[in-house]
């Protein structure tokens, strides 16, 4: 059965696969909105219709090839900002306890460092 290609009839193409693909992309965008409401960047679902003439030997266009591309776009996932200390080896070092300051030391580290200093003093006496 021949049907005119319209927005209304898209659901009937390819045994409903186009409609299901559209629903899947919509769900991905809606789910991302629910998962990350703090990211107010827009999400999008795009339907792109690609048409190409299929001309015969005489150059007459009797057929047109149609393909529909469906895709969704969500904002990139981002972590918080980590301030890192570069090393000459090419490595980056971050302080897991204080991601804003790689030089910040924890109380445990400071006590450990002071304890080593106290042991050094005991060994010298």
pLDDT digits (tens, 9 = 90+) for 12-54: 889 999 999 999 999 999 999 999 999 999 999 999 999 999 9
Residue 4 clears pLDDT 50, i.e. is over it = yes
Q: Would you say 95 and 101 are in contact if contact means Cβ atoms under 8 Å apart?
A: yes
pLDDT tens digits for range 61-107: 999 999 999 999 999 988 888 888 898 999 888 887 777 777 777 77
Predicted confidence at residue 121, as pLDDT, reads: 47
The answer for residues whose C-beta is within 8 angstroms of residue 100's C-beta and 6 or more apart is: 81, 83
* Stated pTM of the model: 0.64
């Amino acid at each position: 059965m021949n049907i005119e290609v319209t927005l209304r009839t898209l659901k009937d193409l390819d045994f409903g696969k186009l409609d299901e693909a559209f629903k899947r992309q919509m769900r991905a965008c809606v789910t991302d909105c629910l998962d990350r409401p703090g990211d107010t960047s827009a999400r999008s679902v795009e339907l792109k219709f690609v048409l190409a003439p299929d001309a015969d030997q005489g150059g007459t266009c009797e057929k047109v090839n149609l393909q529909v591309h469906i895709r969704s776009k969500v904002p990139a996932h981002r972590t918080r900002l980590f301030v890192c200390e570069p090393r000459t080896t090419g490595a980056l070092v971050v302080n897991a306890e204080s991601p804003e300051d790689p030089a910040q030391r924890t109380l445990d580290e400071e006590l450990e460092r002071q304890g080593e200093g106290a042991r050094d003093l005991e060994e010298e006496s």
